[in-house]
Amino acid sequence: MFNAVYISKDDNGYHADIAALEDTALPDEDVIIEVHYSTLNYKDALAITGKSPVVRTFPMVAGIDLAGTVLSSRSAKFNPGDNVLVNGWGLGEQYWGGLAQKAAVDSAFVQLLPNTITPYHAMNVGTAGYTAMLCVMALESHNITPDKGEILVTGANGGVGTTAIAILAKLGYTVVASTGRMEQADTLKALGASEVISRSQFSEPGRPLAKERWAGVVDSVGSHTLANACASTMSEGAVAACGLAQGMDFPSTVAPFILRGVKLLGINSVTQSLAVREKAWARIATDLPPESLALITQNAGLADALAIAPDFLSGQVQGRVVVDVNK
């Protein structure tokens, strides 16, 4: 038997509960993992609350992240006892996920943990920190170096935002954090932000072009925020877009792109190749300070996930939530 955040749908509606499941309920996949830690992310909150049609098939075990130890494997790539992680790939949406004490996962989705990263550390980072690193790598690939100017991070109190600030500051960038929770400004500055500004500067309709300020942007918000960030990005700057907390729409014009050469970089964290994932996690081991993660992490048990999920959607959760699935 194992416990899991189990999502079902029937004639009486949508349900998310902590369920005790038989091992025989696990999907027929080639790697069985004893999960030690998972996380709680915005997408998990949508799945648990049913506020968005994130879950594609029912029943479903929630959780887009997991880290643990291989129990058994039909794949030659993994052996019992290997420490592994899985993030993305449709876990918690199309495939049973990591908010459970056991998981059965396609070996193509599994990667070995770097020796320098423990299962707890991996989930302290999670998909949010991994996505933040992909954003930073994308900016670097377009020659956005620390000497080019300020980097704007929107949604700065979220998991992507907080970890992006910490990474960028460690690398020597000047970071400006945009947030709707100005009461958290001291924490954002402790992570490395040089300035904290209100999201109200970006969240309403703006002009096609605004005064140039940003050399680069990490945006996890979308909608008007993304449009205004692009409009105020400097010539030949770049914007890494990875989220939709404000909305999926993009009410912009082509002006920033054809008049200033601004690059809009879409960040896909779900189905990246193993080579890209390994590069990102290797960078995380060196460029995301553990002391920064400690500032923005809360620990929870499996049952706590159900209570915390609504707080994500109302913007009340800062940083990262690590879930010990055995508590």
The reported pTM is 0.94
Token pair recorded at residue 25: 């309920």
297: Cβ contacts below 8 Å, ≥ 6 apart? 124, 319, 320, 321, 322
- Whether 212 is covered by a domain: the verdict is yes
Mean per-residue pLDDT for 27-37?
98
Final residue before a domain boundary, out of 266, 282, 304: 266
Give the count of alpha carbons within 13 A of 43, CB side only: 29
Distance CA 141, CA 143 (A): 5
Model confidence at 91, pLDDT cuts 50, 70, 90, reads very high
Q: Where are the beta strands (DSSP E) in the chain?
A: 2-10, 13-21, 31-39, 60-61, 65-73, 83-87, 102-105, 111-112, 150-153, 175-179, 193-198, 214-219, 233-241, 263-266, 297-301, 320-324
Mean per-residue pLDDT for 69-75?
98
Q: Would the pLDDT of 220 be above 90? A: yes
Q: Would the pLDDT of 312 be above 90? A: no
Same domain, 250 and 162: yes
Same domain, 216 and 246: yes
CA distances 177 to 146, 165, 190, 217, 297, Å, are 16, 8, 12, 10, 18
* Residue range 135-179, pLDDT digits in tens: 999 999 999 999 999 999 999 999 999 999 999 999 999 999 999
Across the chain, mean pLDDT equals 96
Q: What is the DSSP letter of 201?
A: G
Model confidence at 313, pLDDT cuts 50, 70, 90, reads confident
DSSP lists the bridge partners of residue 10 as: 13
Token pair recorded at residue 36: 């030690």
What CATH number does residue 101 fall under?
3.90.180.10
Token pair recorded at residue 34: 């004893």
- Whether 100 is covered by a domain: the verdict is yes
Model confidence at 277, pLDDT cuts 50, 70, 90, reads very high
Distance CA 88, CA 97 (A): 9
Final residue before a domain boundary, out of 217, 247, 266: 266
Same domain, 131 and 262: yes
- Whether 249 is covered by a domain: the verdict is yes
**Angle made by CA atoms 207, 210, 215, in degrees to the nearest 5:** 135
- Whether 285 is covered by a domain: the verdict is no
Q: Write down the residue that tokens 């194992």 correspond to.
A: 2
What CATH number does residue 132 fall under?
3.40.50.720
Q: Compute CA 102 distance to the chain's CA centroid, rounded to the nearest angstrom.
A: 22
Distance CA 129, CA 319 (A): 10
Q: How many domains does the chain have?
A: 2
- Whether 118 is covered by a domain: the verdict is no
Residue 259 sits in which domain range?
127-266
What 3-state class would DSSP assign to 3? strand
Same domain, 109 and 133: no
